Amino acid sequence: MLKVRVNKSSQLSKASKFRKSEPYAVFRVGAEERVHAACIPSWMTPSVLRDHGGMAPAKPPRDDDPHLVIQPRPYDHPDVRSLVDDLYLEQVGRYGFADAPNEDPTDFAPPLGVFLVAYADGIPCACGGMRAYRPGVAEIKKMYVTPTHRGRGLGRRILDNLEQAAHAASARRIILETGSRNTEALSLYIRAGHRAIPAYRERDATINRALAKDLIDGRVERRYPGKSDVSGRAFQLGVDDMRCS
């Protein structure tokens, strides 16, 4: 269980000062999920689904592991820097290039952002951040799990908590992107209810994959949409948000 201090009245369109009197919001990881076949975008090939379990129920991450702790950290914290540097090196090895790990620490600062680090027996092993992209839209960035800790549901735990933090920051939609070769991440995001949308305007659509998830009625939408909800319109959600200057 993760405790993150949030401003209940904050809006993504207007920053406010972080006050010590603000209440805690307690976020718990959700249980089982199942992906609907109609939610699979064209670039999720049968081999991706087969190799990474995209059509099977997602493995519920454990929320009671006494050896695992998830903590919010400033982006310039040494543990954050170590993990995002490792992410950068892995992406360079996979694609030959990568976004620089340098980011403005204030982007991931409360009340409109957060950066989380997971510790297993005190060792930093996973991370991810949430920041305001534009009014009403939050962006998830720098998702990473160290190789020795993969396959344990850590990525899902980080993702679930970031989605809850986005909801607490009054976001109505979450967007994110990952690489076309990162089939593990693509499977994770599809399982968690994210849908394919066009690549960010400044990105190479042959390499970068963009996804979005709506937060419905002021809560994180946990249910996968039915066939009637995943027409061409569903795959266009978020285009206007990402293509505005």
| Domains, the chain | 45-242 (3.40.630.30)
Give the helix ranges, DSSP H, for the chain. 46-52, 78-95, 154-168, 183-191, 239-242
Is the entire prediction scored with pTM above 0.85? Answer: no
**Helix or strand run (H / E) with residue 147:** none
Give CA–CA dist 34/120, Å, rounded: 27
Per 3-state DSSP, the chain is made up of helix, strand and coil in percentages (nearest 5) of 30, 25, 45
Check residue 173 and give its pLDDT.
96
Q: What is the pLDDT along the chain (245 residues), one digit of tens a residue?
A: 444 444 433 444 433 332 222 222 222 223 223 333 333 344 444 443 343 333 333 344 455 576 899 999 999 999 999 999 999 999 999 888 888 888 999 999 999 999 999 999 999 999 999 999 999 999 999 999 999 999 999 999 999 999 999 999 999 999 999 988 889 999 999 999 999 998 888 787 778 899 999 997 545 544 433 222 222 233 333 333 333 22
